[in-house]
Amino acid sequence: MMLKPFAPALMCLMALTPGIALAEPLPVRIVSAQPVSGSHEVVLTGTLQAVESYGAAFRDSGRLLAVLLREGDRVAQGDALARIDPTQAEAAARAAQAALAGAEARLREARQARDRAQGLRQRGAGTQADLDAATGALISAEAVRDQAAAALAKARSTLDDTVLRAPSAGIVTARSAEPGQVVNAGQAVLTIAADGGAEAVFNAPDGVDLEAFLGRPVRLSLIDQPDIALQGQLTEVSPVVDQATGSVAVKARLTGDPPEGVAFGSPVIGRADMARPEGIALPWTALAAKGGAPAVWIVDPAQMTVALAPVTVAEYGVDTVLVSDGVAPGAQVVADGAHLLFPGRSVIARGVAQ
C-alpha cells in the first residue's frame, strides 16, 4: 500500500517514453543529388517470340485419331500435322460419287433424246414441241450433273480436310490436343511459329519514353544461355498501358534468325542506350507525395532535419526517377525510410553516397 503514491509518477514516465524515442534521430540512407545528362542504358526483360504464329486447326469438327508432331518439331509447308476420323467424310464422298455417276447417266440419256427429237424434226417426222421438250430436259440434266460434280468436289475437299496440313513452314511451339479428343472446327490443335523472323517482346514501365528511340539497335542476351548474344531493332511500342501491370508492350525485331537450339519462349534481356534529359537521378525509394504530386525529403545538413519538397519527374526508369525541378544539385535527399518521416524529423545518415 505504500507504493500507491508512486503509481501516478510511473504512469507519467511511461507516457513520456514514446516522445523520448521520437526525439532520437532516425537512421536513413541519404544520397547527394548530382546532375546527370547524356545517355543511359535501359534494361528490359521479356521473351523471344516469332513475328508471326498461327494456330493449326481443322475446318470441321471430329474425333482426333493422331497428332503427328510435338513442341520443337520443325514443319515444312504442306506437312501433315494431325488427322481426324474420316469415316463420315469417306461415306459422304462415296455417296457424292454415286450421285454424280447417276447424273451423268441421265445426262447421256437426255442428250440422246434431244438428238433423236432434233433428227425427227429435220426429217419432218417430229414436232417443234417435242424438240423443245427434249432440249429443256437436256438443259435440266446438265444442271443436275453440274450440281452433282460440285457436291463431289466439296465432299472430296472435306475428306482431304480430315488431314490437317501446315499452311507454311515453321516450328511447333504448343500442342493443345491429344488423340481421342473431339475437336471443334477452328480449335487449334498445334501452335506454329512461322518462319520469317523473331522478335523480343518486353513489358516496359509506363513513363519510359521508348518511342524516342524507335528504330535504334537493341542488344539482346538469353537469360538461360548468356553466352549467346543477339542483335535487334526496336520496332514497336504499344500505345496502350496494361491496366493489370502498369506496363507497356515493346517489341524488338531480331537481326536475322535465332541460332539453332534457341527456342521461342526463351527469356531474354534487352539493353538499349537512350538519350537522357538533364536532371537529377534519384532512387525510386526516394519518392514521396505532397498533395497528390511527387515529392522528396530534403535534409538540412546543419540541423539534420527533413522537409518535404515537391518535385517534377521528367522520366521514370526501371529503378530510378529523373527529377527536372525541385532538387538543387548537391542537395541531400533521403533515399530510404521516407515513409517514416514527417516535417522537422531528426535524421542520421546510415551512409552518404557522393
- Could you report the per-residue pLDDT of 45-66, keeping only the tens digit for each? 999 999 999 999 999 999 999 9
Is 206 found in the same domain as 185?
A: no
Count the Cβ atoms, other than its own, within 10 Å of residue 284: 13
Mean pLDDT across 185-207: 89
**Does the model's pTM come out above 0.85?**
no
Q: Please give the grid coordinates belonging to residue 136.
A: 429443256
Quickly state the pLDDT bin for 208 (edges 50, 70, 90): low
CA distance 174 to 263: 12
Q: For the chain, what is the domain count? A: 4
Regarding predicted confidence, which is higher, 259 or 15?
A: 259
pLDDT at residue 124, rounded to an integer: 86
Residue 262 lies in a domain: yes
Which CATH number do you get for residue 312?
2.40.420.20
What pLDDT, in 10s, does the model give residues 116-147? 999 999 988 889 999 999 999 999 999 999 99
Domain region containing 326: 24-37+279-353
Coil/strand/helix, residue 1: coil
Percentage of the chain modeled with pLDDT above 90: 63
Rg for the chain, CA atoms, rounded:
39
Is 238 found in the same domain as 117?
A: no
Is 182 found in the same domain as 125?
A: no
Exposure b/e, 57-95, CB count within 10 A at least 16 = b: bbeeebebeebebeeebebeeeeebbbbebeebeebbee
pLDDT at residue 16, rounded to an integer: 41
Is 131 found in the same domain as 242?
A: no
Given a cut of 60, whether residue 20 has pLDDT beyond it is no
Given a cut of 90, whether residue 163 has pLDDT beyond it is yes
CA 57 to chain centre: 20
Quickly state the pLDDT bin for 243 (edges 50, 70, 90): confident
Is 225 found in the same domain as 177?
A: no
Which CATH number do you get for residue 265?
2.40.30.170
Is 69 found in the same domain as 178?
A: yes
**Lowest-confidence range among 229-238, 254-263, 328-337?**
254-263
What pLDDT, in 10s, does the model give residues 263-288? 888 899 999 887 667 889 999 899 99
Given a cut of 50, whether residue 9 has pLDDT beyond it is no
Given a cut of 90, whether residue 197 has pLDDT beyond it is no
Is 255 found in the same domain as 200?
A: yes
**How high is the mean pLDDT of the chain?**
87
Regarding predicted confidence, which is higher, 263 or 205?
A: 263
Mean pLDDT across 158-187: 94
- The widest CA-to-CA distance across the chain, in whole angstroms, is 152
Beta strands 347-353 and 26-32 are parallel
DSSP state of 263: P
What pLDDT, in 10s, does the model give residues 219-233? 999 998 888 889 999
Q: Please give the grid coordinates belonging to residue 45.
A: 526483360
